[in-house]
Structure 1
Amino acid sequence: MDFYSFAKGIVKNILTPLYRIKVIGVEQFPQEGGVLLCANHISNLDPPILGITAPRPIHFMAKEELFRVPILKNLINHLHAFPVKRGMSDRQALRTGLEVLKQGHVLGIFPEGTRSKDGKLKKGLPGVGFFALRTNAAVVPCAIIGPYRPFVPLKVIYGAPIDMAPLRERKASPEEATDYIMQHIQALFDQHH
């Protein structure tokens, strides 16, 4: 068993009963090929929550500062995370993200770039649209709904892959592609709130 699976098992046993996690739509998650998993961001626990509910290992972009803490750096490297510089165009992180998708892995991304204080969906950043347009990866929207309070149910809803072909064909802008993805996340919210 690799470290990711081992850690997933431990975290799952702690968080699932604590937050009474209810997972919806996971059967729609592609079993193979590159997947761009796009979720809203309401808590620092979002990455582990996605990690224990998604059926495949996820590679996350994590803020660069986390890689400066020695113990944390080792841990998140083993959990397939890679650094991204926030607030600027980080070409290395974009290249790494593209490579993850081209190799047929799952890239987990929070389009808003930062946590939403009020739980409402904020505008997504164009980097998400860039990944969606530059690869043929399946784009899976995901909504995390709940207050993150012990024993209060938390819902994780995986939507069906979004058809990005029309946007890729007409060479839509990354901003437009991001907005399109955010509409799908919002629709999951509206449906399950």
Structure 2
Amino acid sequence: MSLYKLCQKIVKFLFMFVYRVEIYGKENIPKHEGAIISPNHFHWMDPIVVGVYIDRQIRFMAKYELFNNKLLNKFLKKLGAFPVRRHEADLNAVKTALKLLKEDNLVGLFPEGTRSKTGELGEANAGVAMFSIKSAKPVIPVCIIGNYKPFTKIIIKIGQPIDFTQYKKEKMSNSDYLELSQIVMNEIKKLKEGM
């Protein structure tokens, strides 16, 4: 059993005593193909919850600062996470994400690019659409609803895949990517409003 699967089992078991987790739309996760898993992000536990309740391994792109600690660096890499320098053009992170997607992995990317300070849905970052178009893989919008207070409910809603492949041959600008990434945020908003 991989470390990822072991951690999934342990955390899911522990969560049973702390949260009531409900998950909807698991059938929208591809069984074997690559895809971008794109949840809203308002709490440091978001990638943990999504990673635990989606059965397939998700290779999360995580902020570079998390990898500064040697122990955490090793642990995150063993779980399949990879670093991104968020405030610069990080070609290594781009190459890693595209390679993983082309190898049919699930890659976790937060469409807002960072955590929302208010808990409200933020504006989209251009990255999600860019990775989807360059890899020819769909984006799966995911909405996490809850506040992570002990003994409360956490709802995970997984939306229909969003296919951007029709833009593969078009010349895209950053504002084009932003506009398409906002479609992902709009889908997350619909999932949230359809509580």
Question: Structures share a fold, TM > 0.5?
Answer: yes
Q: In the superposition, relative to structure 1, how do residues 190 and 167 fare at CA in structure 2: closer, same or farther (>3 Å)?
A: farther
Residue aligned with 1:18, SS: coil
- Higher mean alpha-carbon deviation, 45-54 vs 177-186, is at 177-186
Mapping of residues 103-118 of structure 1, within 5 Å: 103-118=103-118
Mapping of residues 1-193 of structure 1, within 5 Å: 1-168=1-168, 173-192=176-195
- Give me the whole-angstrom Cα distance separating, in 1, the residues matched to 2:177 and 2:16: 35
Q: Under a length normalisation based on structure 2, what TM-score does the superposition of the two structures give?
A: 0.93
Contact kept, 8 Å, 1:29 with 1:55, in 2: the verdict is no
Residue aligned with 1:48, SS: helix
Q: In the superposition, relative to structure 1, how do residues 111 and 122 fare at CA in structure 2: closer, same or farther (>3 Å)?
A: same
1:138-188 Cα offsets, whole Å, 9 max, x none, are: 210000001111111010100111132344465552112211111111111
| Amino acid in structure 2 at the alignment position of 1:61 | M
1:89-135 Cα offsets, whole Å, 9 max, x none, are: 21110110001100000000111122112221101111111101111
| Amino acid in structure 1 at the alignment position of 2:191 | L
Contact kept, 8 Å, 2:128 with 2:139, in 1: the verdict is no
Which 5+ residue runs of structure 2 have no aligned equivalent? none
Contact kept, 8 Å, 2:144 with 2:155, in 1: the verdict is yes
| Amino acid in structure 1 at the alignment position of 2:41 | H
Which 5+ residue runs of structure 1 have no aligned equivalent? none
- Give me the whole-angstrom Cα distance separating, in 1, the residues matched to 2:179 and 2:141: 16
- Give me the whole-angstrom Cα distance separating, in 2, the residues matched to 1:52 and 1:69: 23
| Amino acid in structure 2 at the alignment position of 1:191 | G
Q: In the superposition, relative to structure 1, how do residues 27 and 16 fare at CA in structure 2: closer, same or farther (>3 Å)?
A: farther
Q: Under a length normalisation based on structure 1, what TM-score does the superposition of the two structures give?
A: 0.94
Percent identity, please.
36
| Amino acid in structure 1 at the alignment position of 2:54 | A
Contact kept, 8 Å, 1:61 with 1:108, in 2: the verdict is yes
- In the alignment of these two chains, the number of paired residues is 192
1:34-89 Cα offsets, whole Å, 9 max, x none, are: 11011100110011101111121000111111111011111101100011002112
